[in-house]
């Protein structure tokens, strides 16, 4: 399977060639852990999970090192800790565990490494020390600032001039800055904030230097792929490049820059800080997590995607059809095979998921229409193999059709269905109807068939109806 990736640095799709196919390295800027992740954060996690899966497929699971950091020192974390009167670690421990569980529900594999900023303060200080020593950074009034004038390539990733940056980013003009676009590597902590001793005064690191230091210590530069949401291109990734290249004297920091597009709701950016978000934590309890994953992958990762009840309903329908085809082929003792060529080609083309998904329906069609056992066997193996690469279609079809349920609800619904069955046998239709209404109120959809009734949860989107 060949892979091309759209590289933000060159603005072009480029054939992916790792520096060392036995050790393929990818770093993605991970969550700031002060509250629940919304579906937009989920989109970023799922997009890079797909890339991780594709890389593992091509180079072997052992050959890919994927590092996704946890930002556990940040103003918003401090604010949340202060508001709740708890230490910072109580917030960050809780929400990094919640993040892992929620992303796990979306089928996101654990990254190989998950470095936390607070565990790398020494590395951060070492890197800042190197930058100060070689004149790329300077200390002033308890701060250390990166001097953008020391790095001629500053602005290359985002394609911005220094004037644009000053205008666009509303950079803070502070008296201790030599240039208004110089950015903070270290700053004094305010009372009550976490604080570490340093040669430049007690304080804490800036956000950008954390990633540079964690990349250095967890992977080493240059890395093959650096990823994140496209909101991070400027200033975060621009600053990471400046820091890492100046500290390491490296001509290249990352060989490919991959950025996912944003998830919006009603055309507005979904954002943690504005509270305009559907939380993954809530949504996975209301709808099949696999349908959420499918919905997030249904647009190309670089394109914007608007979250809506229609999108989720469509995802559900698509999976119903595919699982239906697999159910029809339940008699064939087949395991996942290699993904079919047309599917692999689509996915290898800068992760073109819409095209790859269309190939799944072509396979489903074979299972729906063909009687030829050889053809059907190949189609089922292909569907399962392709699904594994996308991180879908790995459940028993019966489990899919039943839907995700908690045990308490399952026991209740099973009991209601039993009573309804008995009422019908006794021709007590009033009771049967009442139970049906009760099930509907529980958002349970009952499907009667000659073999008895099956059921699943109805649609819910987490968006206000």
Which residues make up the interface to Zn ion (CB under 5 A)? 29, 211
Give the x-and-dash track for 86-125 against ligand AMP (CB under 6 A): ----------------------------------------
Residue of the chain from 32, 92, 96, 158 that contacts ligand AMP (CB under 6 A): 32
Q: Rule CB under 6 A: say whether 262 interacts with ligand AMP.
A: yes
Q: What residue 231 binds from ligand AMP, Zn ion, none (CB within 5 to 8 A, per partner kind)?
A: ligand AMP
d(CA 238, CA 183): 11
260 interface partner picked from ligand AMP, Zn ion, none, CB below 5 to 8 A per type: ligand AMP
Q: How far is it, in rounded angstroms, from Cα 4 to Cα 342?
A: 15
Q: Using the rule CB under 6 A, which residue among 269, 355, 434, 436 binds ligand AMP?
A: 269
Residues 217-256 within binding reach of ligand AMP (CB under 6 A): 228-229, 231-232
Of the candidate spans 12-20, 27-35, 348-356, 447-455, the one that interacts with ligand AMP by CB under 6 A turns out to be 27-35
CA distance 120 to 216: 11
Q: Closest distance between ligand AMP and the C-beta of residue 257, in Å?
A: 13
User: From the list 5, 7, 24, 31, which residue makes contact with ligand AMP (rule: CB under 6 A)?
Assistant: 31
Determine if 73 is a binding residue for ligand AMP (CB under 6 A).
no
Least gap, CB of 337 to Zn ion (angstroms): 38
Minimum CB separation of residue 126 from ligand AMP in Å reads 25
Out of 8, 18, 26, 43, the only residue in the binding site for ligand AMP (CB under 6 A) is: 43
Q: Which does 229 bind (CB under 5 to 8 A by kind): ligand AMP, Zn ion, none?
A: ligand AMP
CB 422, min distance to ligand AMP, A: 49
Q: 138 is written with which tokens?
A: 């300077």
Q: Taking CB under 6 A as the rule, does residue 208 contact ligand AMP?
A: no
Where does residue 419 rank: exposed (0-12), middle (13-18), buried (19+ CB within 10 A)? middle
40 contributes a contact to ligand AMP by CB under 6 A: yes
Residue 29 or 246 having the CB closest to ligand AMP: 29
Nearest residue relative to ligand AMP (C-beta): 229
Site for ligand AMP in 271-290 (CB under 6 A): 272
Toward ligand AMP, which CB reaches closer, 269 or 424?
269
Q: How far is the CB of 336 from Zn ion (least distance, A)?
A: 34
User: Which one of Zn ion, ligand AMP, none is in contact with 263 (Cβ closer than 5 to 8 A by kind)?
Assistant: ligand AMP
Binding site for ligand AMP (CB under 6 A): 29, 31-32, 40-41, 43-44, 228-229, 231-232, 260, 262-263, 269-270, 272
């Amino acid at each position: 399977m060949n892979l091309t990736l759209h590289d933000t640095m060159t603005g072009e799709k480029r054939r992916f060639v790792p520096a060392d196919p036995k050790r393929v390295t990818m770093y993605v800027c991970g969550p700031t852990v002060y509250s629940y992740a919304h579906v937009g954060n989920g989109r970023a996690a799922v997009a890079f999970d797909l890339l991780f899966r594709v890389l593992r497929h091509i180079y072997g699971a052992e050959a890919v090192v994927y590092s996704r950091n946890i930002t556990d020192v940040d103003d918003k974390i401090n604010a949340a800790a202060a508001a709740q009167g708890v230490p910072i670690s109580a917030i960050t421990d809780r929400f990094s565990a919640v993040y892992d569980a929620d992303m796990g529900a979306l089928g996101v594999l654990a990254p190989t490494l998950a470095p936390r900023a607070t565990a790398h303060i020494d590395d951060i200080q070492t890197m800042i020390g190197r930058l100060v020593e070689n004149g790329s950074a300077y200390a002033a009034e308890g701060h250390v600032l990166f001097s953008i004038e020391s790095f001629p390539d500053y602005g290359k990733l985002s394609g911005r001039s220094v004037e644009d940056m000053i205008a666009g980013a509303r950079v803070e003009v502070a008296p201790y800055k030599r240039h208004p676009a110089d950015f903070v590597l270290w700053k004094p902590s305010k009372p009550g904030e976490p604080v570490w001793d340093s040669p430049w005064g007690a304080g804490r690191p800036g956000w950008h230097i954390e990633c540079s230091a964690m990349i250095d210590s967890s992977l080493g530069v240059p890395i093959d792929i650096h990823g994140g949401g496209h909101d991070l291109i400027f200033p975060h990734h621009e600053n990471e490049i400046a820091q890492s290249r100046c500290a390491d004297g490296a001509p290249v920091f990352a060989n490919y820059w991959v950025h996912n597009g944003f998830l919006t709701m009603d055309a507005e950016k979904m954002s943690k800080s504005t509270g305009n978000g559907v939380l993954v934590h809530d949504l996975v309890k209301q709808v099949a997590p696999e349908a959420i994953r499918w919905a997030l992958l249904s647009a190309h990762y670089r394109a914007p995607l608007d979250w809506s009840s229609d999108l989720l309903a469509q995802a559900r329908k698509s999976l119903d059809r595919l699982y239906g085809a697999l159910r029809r082929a339940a008699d064939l003792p087949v395991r996942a095979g290699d993904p079919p060529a047309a599917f692999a080609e689509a996915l290898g083309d800068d992760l073109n998921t819409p095209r790859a998904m269309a190939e799944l329906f072509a396979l489903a069609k074979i299972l729906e229409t063909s009687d030829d056992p050889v053809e059907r066997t190949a189609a089922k193996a292909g569907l399962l193999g392709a699904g594994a690469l996308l991180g879908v279609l790995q459940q028993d079809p019966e489990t899919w059709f039943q839907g995700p349920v908690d045990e308490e609800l399952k026991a209740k619904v099973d009991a209601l269905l039993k009573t309804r069955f008995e009422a019908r046998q006794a021709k007590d239709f009033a009771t049967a109807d009442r139970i049906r209404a009760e099930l509907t109120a529980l958002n349970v959809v009952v499907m009667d068939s000659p073999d008895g009734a099956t059921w699943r949860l109805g649609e819910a989107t987490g968006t206000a109806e």
